[in-house]
Chain A
Amino acid sequence: MAPAAANSAMCEVTDLTVAYQSGDEWLRAVRSVSFEVRRGEILAVVGETGSGKSTTATAVIRMLPANGKVVSGRVMFDGRDLVHLPSQEMRRLRGQDIAYVPQQPMSAFNPTMTVGRQVAEPLLIHRRANASDAAREASKRLKEMGIREVDRVMKAYPHQLSGGMLQRAMIATAMICQPRLLILDEPTSALDVTIQRQILALIKQVQSEYRLAVILISHDLTVVSQVADRILVMYGGRAVEIGATEAIMNRARHPYTRGLLRSTMAGEREHKAKLASLAGYPPAPHDVDSEQGCPFRPRCPRAVDQCSTMFPPFSAGGADSWACFNPEPVE
């Protein structure tokens, strides 16, 4: 945390609201979300299905599907607002200054091209490199990602490689133009536990070596807490808590974050004892859009009257900041 704090924000998202068209209506999936990522830090964005975490990431790099749009808000990168950047300039940034690693490496690669060609492609496009230079650079990157049999992987087609290997190649592709901001969407959730740990270690290594700003999207708080410097917790389209990893894991104040932590298996517990669980279910898209107050209210054990009328403002700064009228007491 300490060195990162000295840096200004690499990417600053302010009041971002994103909506999807569904039939005749527009439903907001992300509502007034603000956060920043600084140089040399990993910010994890954690949430469940429908919390808006992937939508937030795809809005930042302007890769929302055709039925999605940014309704309001700003995404500042390098002094420019990405939301209003002409698409040609956005294309220049994407893959070069901002790189994105999509979910599911298996389906993100083109099955008809060799992996080597795909890792090298950003260089051919952004740097107008010639094919042999690009290939040389690609093998160098693959090696950096901990792949030993570089030659085999370069010539292989995606279906010939394992998920862990493809994820390494995917990160190599993202890193090949030396971006400053790297966005990873669920980079480990399709992988087995043993591979998961290796990929997390790789992300951490790449990030600190290049002093990258990283946005790491995940549904698993305990997994990301191993590598993230800060964590943003999302629920029902809203940011509900943001803070240093240590503060979130040990002293979270938002009832949702606390509930999640209590219900996970982390730590010692009595065999077959009941787990603390959150009642109810996450909100459906319609409810995310129409909710006047806090989206967690229907499930919240600490809800007060105010919660149904407006979304609570964030508490002021510190290591941790939360949006709640009746936060959990300090333990």
Chain B
Amino acid sequence: MSLVANSVTKHFITNSRWPLKPDYTVAVDSVDCTISPGQTVGVVGESGSGKSTLARLMLGLIEPTSGTVEFDGRPLTKFGPTQWRDFRRAVQPIFQDPRSSLNWRHSIETIITEPLENFGQAAPERKKRALALLEQVRLPANILRRRTFDVSGGQLQRVAIARALALDPKYLVCDEPLSALDVSVQAGVLNLLLDLQAGRKLAMMFISHDLEVVRHVSDRVIVMYRGAVMEDAPAVDLYTRPRHPYTQVLLGRANPLAEDEAAAPAASATATRETSCPFGDRCPMRQDLCFRERPALREVAPGHRTACHFV
């Protein structure tokens, strides 16, 4: 039982003027990712690296262009209504900005209890459950009657967490859950997530651009660049011995080429994607080979995979 992405790829069409062939961006490029029960997989990368698209694929919010996302061994695309219900119950999202992901027309109570209602719980039970959830996320009970705009960002993210927990999920997919929050409340929300994870044996996918936070919460970490996995390793390994040049750049242990020095054989163009390294144009270690042949992910140490010719 686990949530698995099997070499998923997602293209977004950026321009489809007939009769031209549509242009598309490769947002996620043959990514493999397994979230096992109780485990936290961290995903890091800069903006545009495809982290959020991967999250939406794992949640079944969008369909992959190729590859499959499987839950308990069954691809999401083959799901019927019942299986979708079970899936929604088991896998819940937490998004970056609770102000835009939660419905401001609803009271906090409606927000938290709506999933319970959808899954057939009676009103008195729902209320009881909502109160219990609030206690778990350490919010006062009187918040139930308030609305999103009456509540601070930090409190609202706790509401989003309570909502996600309402159905006792097994998996949480958290897309930048801290970055909209003030620095002084981030640690509190992070502690809460760590607590819940330990207490309920939750599995998490934790997406963030903050490398230190990801290091702290994750068992495994996936490093993405332009939609592709550059490195995939146990958290401790990745931070103590980063192999891929991009990971080293991210961790501040190497300098990337400047943006305009990087004028390279158009590595981003879809035509050359198959034949060159996505990071080639900014890589401080690049060589000719990087633009002739795309490095495949290969194991360089037990459980530690990286996509670079020169590691």
Contacts and interface: CB of A to CB of B under 8 A. Distances in A.
B47 interface: yes
A259 interface: yes
A128 interface: no
Nearest to B236: A271
Given A194-B249, A281-B155, A284-B152, A271 B182 contact: no
Given A194-B249, A278-B185, 15 more contacts: A48-B183, A148-B260, A149-B263, A192-B46, A192-B47, A221-B183, A263-B183, A263-B188, A271-B215, A272-B194, A276-B187, A277-B190, A279-B188, A281-B154, A281-B182
A147 B260 contact: yes
Interface residues of B, number: 37
Interface string B174-205: 00000000111111101100110010000000
A265 interface: yes
Contacts of B236: 271
Q: Which of B47, B155, B187, B213 has the most CB of A within 10 A?
A: B187
A162 B187 contact: no
Nearest to B217: A272
B187 A263 contact: yes
A179 interface: no
B182 A48 contact: yes
B297 interface: no
B184 A149 contact: no
Contacts of B198: 272
Given A269-B216, A272-B216, A194 B250 contact: yes
B49 to A, nearest CB: 9
A310 interface: no
A302 interface: no
A291 interface: no
Contact of A148 (B188, B212, B215, B261): B261
A205 to B, nearest CB: 14
Contacts of B155: 281
B252 interface: yes
B260 A278 contact: no
B269 interface: no
A274 B212 contact: no
Interface in A237-290: 256, 259-260, 263-266, 269, 271-272, 274-279, 281-282, 284
Contacts of B182: 48-49, 219, 281-282
Given A194-B250, A221-B183, A272-B194, A164 B188 contact: no
Interface residues of A, number: 39
B258 A265 contact: no
A220 interface: yes
15 contacts: A48-B182, A148-B258, A153-B260, A193-B46, A194-B249, A272-B194, A272-B217, A274-B191, A274-B195, A275-B187, A277-B188, A278-B187, A281-B185, A282-B184, A284-B152
Interface of B: 46-47, 152-155, 182-188, 190-191, 194-195, 198, 209-213, 215-217, 235-236, 249-250, 252, 256, 258-261, 263
Nearest to B211: A193
A162 B51 CA distance: 19
Given A148-B261, A284-B152, A194 B185 contact: no
A282 B190 contact: no
**Interface residues of B, dominant DSSP:** helix
Interface string A133-152: 00000000000001111001
A148 B260 CA distance: 6
A23 B63 CA distance: 47
Contacts of B212: 265-266
A277 B235 contact: no
Contacts of B211: 193
Contacts of A275: 187, 190-191, 216
A80 interface: no
Nearest to A51: B182
Contacts of B190: 275, 277
Contact of B183 (A194, A260, A269): A260
Contacts of A162: 259
Interface in A36-56: 48-49
Nearest to B189: A277
A192 B211 CA distance: 11
Interface string A147-185: 111001100000000101100000000000000000000
A327 to B, nearest CB: 18
Contacts of B259: 162, 164-165
A200 to B, nearest CB: 11
Q: Which 9 pairs across A and B sit closest by C-beta, in order of nearness?
A: A265-B212, A263-B187, A277-B187, A192-B46, A48-B182, A277-B188, A275-B187, A149-B260, A281-B152
